[in-house]
């Protein structure tokens, strides 16, 4: 009997450990994708302007056809580039960039640097990541998990009992 209970407990612990590791890796992946953008790359700075242009055009109710079926608000803007914007938006942003003075370009660069610092601090917050991980761990349990816990415990119990020959 003790072998069966031990097998059942170990199977539940394995399920909980596996789920926790999966959730932890997912949270790390989501927060780790917030990487600093290269402020010395002009395309990154034009991307910042393209986001502003897209916002203005959307506010003016101008219809925009987005590549890949998404828009700048649906993804991680740290990963956006020229291909993620409608041609009209990128062209307007590039034209705006080309017409800027060095001081205006420095202001855009400073704005991107401030965003990098803000997102970097948020992604490195251990307390926030731990809290998010625990919430995600507990609130992602559902009926399917209960089914697997039931199946794992009963199987482990019966196998352990069969191996030791206990009745």
How do the domains of the chain map onto residue ranges? Answer: 2-164
pLDDT tens column, 93-120: 999 999 999 999 899 888 888 877 776 6
pLDDT tens column, 26-74: 877 776 555 566 777 888 888 888 888 888 888 888 888 777 666 556 5
Q: What is the pLDDT of residue 79?
A: 64
- Whether residue 1 is predicted with pLDDT greater than 60 in this model: the reply is yes
User: Which candidate, 111, 122, 114, 34, places its Cα nearest to that of 80?
Assistant: 34
pLDDT tens column, 7-24: 889 999 999 999 888 888
Q: Which residue has the tokens 């415990």?
A: 153
Both tokens of 76, joined, read 């991680």
- Whether residue 121 is predicted with pLDDT greater than 90 in this model: the reply is no
pLDDT tens column, 64-96: 877 766 655 655 555 677 778 888 888 999 999
Instruction: Supply the angle between the helices 2-32 and 126-139 in degrees, to the nearest 10.
Output: 130
Kindly give, in sequence order, each residue whose CB lies less than 8 Å from that of residue 70, ignoring residues fewer than 6 positions away.
84
Q: Which residue has the tokens 């041609």?
A: 87
Listing DSSP states for 100-146 in one string gives --HHHHHHHHHHHHHHHHHHHHHHT-HHHHHHHHHHHHHHT--HHHH
Q: What is the pLDDT of residue 95?
A: 94
């Amino acid at each position: 009997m003790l072998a069966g209970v031990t097998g059942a407990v170990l199977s539940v612990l394995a399920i909980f450990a596996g789920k926790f590791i999966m959730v932890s890796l997912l949270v790390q992946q989501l927060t780790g994708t917030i990487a600093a953008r290269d402020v010395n790359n002009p395309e990154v700075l034009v991307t910042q302007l393209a986001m502003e242009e897209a916002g203005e055009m959307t506010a003016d109710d101008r219809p925009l056809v987005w590549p890949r079926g998404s828009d700048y608000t649906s993804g991680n803007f740290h990963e956006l580039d020229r291909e993620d914007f409608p041609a009209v938006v990128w062209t307007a942003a590039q034209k705006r960039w080309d017409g800027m003075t060095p001081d205006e370009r420095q202001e855009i660069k400073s704005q991107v640097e401030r965003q990098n610092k803000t997102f970097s601090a948020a992604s490195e917050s251990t307390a926030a990541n731990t809290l998010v991980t625990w919430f995600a761990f507990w609130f992602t349990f559902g009926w399917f998990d209960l089914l697997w816990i039931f199946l794992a415990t009963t199987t482990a119990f019966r196998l352990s009992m069969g191996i030791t020959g206990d009745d």
